[in-house]
Amino acid sequence: MRRRDLLRAGAAGMALVAVGGRGAAADAATPERILRVGLIGCGWYGKCDLLRLIQVAPVEVVSLCDVDSRMLQNAIELVASRQKAQKKPRGYKDYRLMLAEKDLDVVLIATPDHWHALAMIAAVEAGADVYVQKPISVDIREGQAMLAAARSHQRVVQVGTQRRSTPHLAEARDEVIRAGKLGTIALVEICCYYQMRSRDTAPDEAAPEYLDWDMWSGPAPLRPYNRIVHPRGWRNFTDYGNGIIGDMCIHMLDMVRWMLNLGWPKRVSSQGGILVDKASRATIPDTQTATFDFPELQVVWQHRTWGDPPDPKYPWAATFYGDKGTLKASVMGYDFTPHGAGTAIHRDVTYELDQYPEDRTEKDLEKHVAPAIRAHMRDFLAAIASRGRPVADIEQGYISTASCILANLALQCGRTLAWDESAGAVADDHQANLLLARPYRQPWTHPVVTL
């Protein structure tokens, strides 16, 4: 599919049509059908996502895949204890072997970001519908290829931007924004002040025997192993992701786009760098501001991994400024404050610990996020059944991901970048367009969309 045709089809809302053969499309509309599920990436959020899916649907987890054999075995045992008949799923180190079985209706992808594109494209080519974690890609060309693959293979693809399925945020959208309580909104500030950037200076070492480091690195550069990177520390390095703006900004930016029905930003600028913590091995900025200029308004992002947040109650949040009031929204709740006369509104996140008691003891589960993941999975399943678009469809994930990547590219280039939506490229900036696809390490090949 040519990129221009792809973008035109996405903008026009091209209908999905079910196709025959193995996969969810064949008979997903049958209510009693048990979907066969596989997971690629059995770490922290892979298990969180999969176990929430098990809670809301009569699925059978058939296959698990991870290059860390200890992580894989732990996931096999955990899933067996939580699914019907205590059945153990098969285990794989190579996702290509797992997908070659052609026996999966649904594939969840929760690898480090640098593996999202190849795994997602392979999964839809194998006939599966996909739930892929955000951001969908590390570079923009990957995202374009992922969107093209989803559309050409007519697969349902939900992105893990579950703010779109967070109950109190949906209420804030409907009862505050859509109800007109804010009036005209001309500015939204989004932020993250979590001190989540590693300050570790650990030396490189030999990779542990239970980890296939070459396969873990995949298309990224093959660096010496370092315990900061695996497990869960890879976001500290630009080889594997887009730092805090790719991890945390995408959630808030995507939430704002959803709540205000925004499309693409026309211009993106960014400033920052490693301004405070210069001693650690992390390569991502510890301080960054980005401005997303939409036709309707500005969205301004800021993160700092040092110091105190301006509002301790909202360290990771969005603040909507209207001429009639202000709305602060986060994963933990929201507050509406009217300008002048009116009634303030406060809501806290809703937990579901009584309905899902296993949430109480599940290791590392973000209990306040579990209801949103469950709702996101239900929406995904409904889209599979209807062959429609889920709330966080791959096209929306592509827009939010690419917008965050553009912020990093603007910082790298030292100038504002104007995005040409119809061309899928930066307008009049050859140097910036050369950065839309990163080099892949052989033998891995970067996915492409034919011009």
173 and 236 housed in the same domain: yes
303 and 314 housed in the same domain: yes
| CA dist., res. 287 & res. 229, Å (int) | 20
Whether the Cβ atoms of residue 105 and residue 64 lie closer than 8 Å to each other: no
113 and 17 housed in the same domain: yes
Q: At what angle do helices 394-413 and 250-260 cross, to 10 degrees?
A: 120
| CA dist., res. 140 & res. 143, Å (int) | 5
Q: Which residues pair with 267 in a beta bridge?
A: 293, 418
Confidence of residue 450 (pLDDT cuts 50, 70, 90): low
Q: Determine the pLDDT at residue 33.
A: 79
**Structure-block tokens of residue 258:** 């959803």
336 and 258 housed in the same domain: yes
Neighbours of 313 (CB within 10 A): 11
Q: What is the mean pLDDT of residues 234-242?
A: 98
Q: Is the peptide bond before 295 cis (omega within 30 degrees of 0)?
A: no
285 and 301 housed in the same domain: yes
CATH number reported for the structural domain that contains residue 313 in this entry: 3.30.360.10
Q: How far is CA 353 from CA 176, 348, 361, in A?
A: 27, 15, 10
181 and 316 housed in the same domain: yes
DSSP 316-331: EEEEEEESSEEEEEET
Q: How far is CA 183 from CA 37, 80, 391, in A?
A: 45, 51, 25
DSSP 289-303: EEEEE-SS-EEEEEE
| CA dist., res. 83 & res. 48, Å (int) | 14
Residue whose pair of structure tokens reads 């067996």 in the numeric block:
80
136 and 259 housed in the same domain: no
Q: Determine the pLDDT at residue 84.
A: 82
Q: What is the mean pLDDT of residues 347-361?
A: 97
Q: What is the mean pLDDT of residues 245-274?
A: 98
Q: Does 204 fall in a domain?
A: no
| CA dist., res. 136 & res. 417, Å (int) | 21
Q: Determine the pLDDT at residue 32.
A: 64
| CA dist., res. 253 & res. 320, Å (int) | 12
Q: Determine the pLDDT at residue 341.
A: 87
Q: What is the mean pLDDT of residues 432-442?
A: 98
Q: Does 55 fall in a domain?
A: yes
Q: Determine the pLDDT at residue 14.
A: 32
| CA dist., res. 118 & res. 136, Å (int) | 11
Count the domains in the chain: 2
pLDDT in tens, 76-135: 999 999 998 789 999 999 999 999 999 999 999 999 999 999 999 999 999 999 999 999
260 and 374 housed in the same domain: no
Give me the percent of the chain exceeding a pLDDT of 90: 90
Q: Is it the case that residue 9 has pLDDT exceeding 50? A: no
Domain end point (choices 360, 382, 410): 360
Q: Is it the case that residue 246 has pLDDT exceeding 60? A: yes
Q: What is the mean pLDDT of residues 380-384?
A: 98
Q: Determine the pLDDT at residue 26.
A: 35
Say how many residues make up the chain: 451
52 and 158 housed in the same domain: yes
| CA dist., res. 180 & res. 174, Å (int) | 9
Residue whose pair of structure tokens reads 């066969």 in the numeric block:
36
**Structure-block tokens of residue 421:** 């939506």
Q: 29 or 355: whose pLDDT is higher?
A: 355
Q: How far is CA 189 from CA 6, 16, 154, 315, 316, in A?
A: 32, 35, 36, 12, 11
Residue-number span of the structural domain to which 146 is assigned:
3-164+369-393
| CA dist., res. 274 & res. 279, Å (int) | 10
Give me the percent of the chain exceeding a pLDDT of 70: 92
**Structure-block tokens of residue 158:** 């939900």
Q: Determine the pLDDT at residue 18.
A: 27
Q: Cα dihedral sign for 311, 313, 315, 321?
A: negative
Q: Does 216 fall in a domain?
A: no
Q: Does 48 fall in a domain?
A: yes
| CA dist., res. 400 & res. 225, Å (int) | 31
pLDDT in tens, 305-321: 999 999 999 999 999 99
State CA 400 to chain mean position distance: 9
139 and 187 housed in the same domain: no
CATH number reported for the structural domain that contains residue 78 in this entry: 3.40.50.720
Q: Does 209 fall in a domain?
A: no
Nearest to 64 by CA among 86, 93, 87: 93
160 and 172 housed in the same domain: no
Residue whose pair of structure tokens reads 């030396």 in the numeric block:
203
312 and 353 housed in the same domain: yes
DSSP 74-105: HHHHHHHHHSGGGPPPEEES-HHHHHHT---S
Task: Kindly report which listed range (19-33, 181-195, 327-341, 408-422) carries the lowest average pLDDT score.
Answer: 19-33
Q: Which residues pair with 345 in a beta bridge?
A: 336
Q: Percent helix, strand, coil in the chain (nearest 5)? A: 35, 20, 45
Q: Determine the pLDDT at residue 85.
A: 79
For residue 234, what is the DSSP state? G
Q: Is 320 helix (H, G, I), strand (E, B) or coil?
A: strand
**Structure-block tokens of residue 89:** 């799923």
Half-sphere exposure of 26 (CA within 13 A, CB side): 14
Q: Does 412 fall in a domain?
A: no
Q: What is the mean pLDDT of residues 150-179?
A: 98
pLDDT in tens, 14-45: 332 222 233 333 334 445 679 999 999 999 99
Helices (H), 232-369: 243-244, 250-260
Q: Is it the case that residue 339 has pLDDT exceeding 50? A: yes
Nearest to 224 by CA among 198, 204, 246, 197: 204
Q: Does 210 fall in a domain?
A: no
Q: Determine the pLDDT at residue 347.
A: 98
Q: Does 336 fall in a domain?
A: yes
